[in-house]
Amino acid sequence: MIRALIVDDERLARAELRRLLAAHPGVEIVGEAANAAEAAQQVAALQPDLLLLDVQMPGGSGFDLLDALDDAPEVIFTTAFDQYTLQAFEASALDYLMKPIAPPRLAAALERAAARLGMAPTPASTPRKLFIRDGERCWFVKLEDIRLFESEGNYTRLYFDGAKPLLARSLLALEQRLDPQQFFRASRRHIVNLAAVRSIDSDDGGGLTLRLDDMEVEVSRRRAAALKQLQEF
């Protein structure tokens, strides 16, 4: 059963989505929200699998909502404004439905949602993925695909798939939500995905260097001992 949250500032649009979704017994509507702030509270309280999310809303867009979430559900964007299409798909949304929504298009989007949600569940303490917005570009990124987190003040630069955008969260805030068995705090500035480490070099002073495909990360002497204790190494 897909647990869905409808987010749209127009009451009639929410009602129309409810009507369309009634034809899909595999979808349970767990709630509605009329703006981004209300939706953020609903996501935290209800933990839906899927957002049916309007892009343009007063007081904050659908992208603003996703930018504020630590744990982003799957997303199907809904809107009457097709200029958002490119940005939506750069964000790796499941689908992008133009209003008025055609039932066959909704059915296809829900099939994609069901297929993606059929993957192995992720522990509740770890976000399934991050929504990242840097300028006009947006991404949904699985944590396992992020090779390196690099602190830049109150921001963190993420390295994945040739991209390295800035996320408006501190390294400390991110560390608290990462699995320490997979993501290692190498220094004050860096957290490394251990799955991305290709080799480890040591020096005479007891320091370590983690070698990734396209970069090197030095491990502080204090953290080197912790790294050696991990079973993977």
Closest CA to 47 of 143, 133, 139, 127: 127
Closest CA to 57 of 30, 79, 32: 79
- For 146-229, give the CATH class: mainly beta
pTM of the model: 0.63
The CA distance from 83 to 99, in Å, is 13
Pairing of strands 74-79, 199-202: unpaired
Which uninterrupted H or E stretch holds 81? none
Which residues are paired to 74 by β-bridges?
Answer: 50
What CATH number labels 2-117?
3.40.50.2300
Per-residue pLDDT of the chain (233 residues; tens, 9 = 90+): 999 999 999 999 999 999 999 999 999 999 999 999 999 999 999 999 999 999 889 999 998 998 888 878 899 989 887 666 656 555 567 788 888 999 999 998 998 888 888 733 344 444 567 888 888 788 888 888 999 999 998 999 999 988 999 998 899 888 887 888 889 999 999 999 999 999 988 876 667 889 998 889 998 777 887 887 764 44
Domain-wise residue ranges, the chain: 2-117, 146-229
Q: How many Cβ atoms from other residues are within 10 Å of residue 27's Cβ?
A: 21
